[in-house]
């Protein structure tokens, strides 16, 4: 009777062929890399802007609910107005400069409802580019 020897399956991976493949690929890339010509990109040139961006109209709402308008294009000083004058003033300014933004600033002690009423008044009068200014804590 002949005894058969049982063989176990190999649990190791032979990585030598993989190393050969990686080295061949490395040589191919090293040889072909200098032959590739880099692409040329035509970047458009930037010209000067004829008009500077419009300074915003700042609508300030004070603690007592008083409204002031600061036009940074004209003087930069606050001009106290009522709600009807505010809509008329801002609409007239935006007819002259369509892209002039309007920024609403308010004291933190007032009710937010006054800010919403002011924003609603401006939007009903077809004022565009209305935004709120928030000052970060320092």
Please report which confidence band the pLDDT of residue 137 belongs to, taking 50, 70 and 90 as the band edges: low
Distances (CA, A) of 52 to 6, 55, 57, 97: 88, 9, 15, 12
pLDDT surpassing 80 at residue 7? no
As for how many domains the chain has, the answer is 1
Question: Residue 29: inside a domain, yes or no?
Answer: no
Using only C-alpha atoms, what is the Rg of the chain? 36
Question: Residue 114: inside a domain, yes or no?
Answer: yes
- Cα separation, 19 vs 117, in Å, equals 73
Look up the domain containing 113 and give its range.
57-132
Question: Residue 22: inside a domain, yes or no?
Answer: no
pLDDT surpassing 70 at residue 8? yes
pLDDT given at position 44: 73
Name, in order, each residue with C-beta under 8 angstroms of 92's C-beta and a sequence gap of 6 or more.
none
Question: Residue 106: inside a domain, yes or no?
Answer: yes
Question: Residue 30: inside a domain, yes or no?
Answer: no
pLDDT surpassing 90 at residue 22? yes
Global pTM value:
0.58
- Cα separation, 33 vs 3, in Å, equals 60
Question: Residue 86: inside a domain, yes or no?
Answer: yes
Question: Residue 31: inside a domain, yes or no?
Answer: no
Q: Where are the alpha helices (DSSP H) in the chain?
A: 16-32, 83-96, 112-124
Question: Residue 24: inside a domain, yes or no?
Answer: no
pLDDT in tens, 106-130: 888 888 888 898 899 988 988 888 8
The enclosing domain of 95 has a CATH number of 3.30.420.270
User: For 32-52, what is the mean pLDDT?
Assistant: 76
pLDDT in tens, 50-107: 666 678 888 998 888 889 898 877 777 888 888 888 888 888 888 888 888 888 988 8
Cβ neighbours, 10 Å, residue 75:
9
- Cα separation, 88 vs 91, in Å, equals 5
């Amino acid at each position: 009777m002949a005894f058969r020897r049982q063989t176990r399956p190999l649990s190791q991976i032979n990585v030598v062929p993989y190393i050969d493949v990686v080295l061949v690929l490395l040589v191919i890339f090293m040889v072909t890399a200098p032959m590739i010509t880099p692409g040329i990109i035509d970047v458009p040139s930037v010209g000067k802007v004829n008009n500077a961006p419009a300074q915003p109209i700042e609508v300030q709402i004070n603690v007592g609910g008083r409204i002031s308008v600061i036009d940074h294009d004209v003087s930069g000083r606050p001009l106290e107005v009522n709600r009807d004058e505010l809509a008329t003033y801002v609409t007239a300014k935006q007819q002259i400069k369509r892209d002039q933004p309007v920024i609403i600033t308010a004291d933190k002690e007032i009710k937010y409802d006054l800010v919403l009423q002011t924003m609603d008044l401006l939007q009903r009068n077809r004022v565009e580019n209305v935004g709120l200014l928030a000052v970060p804590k320092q």
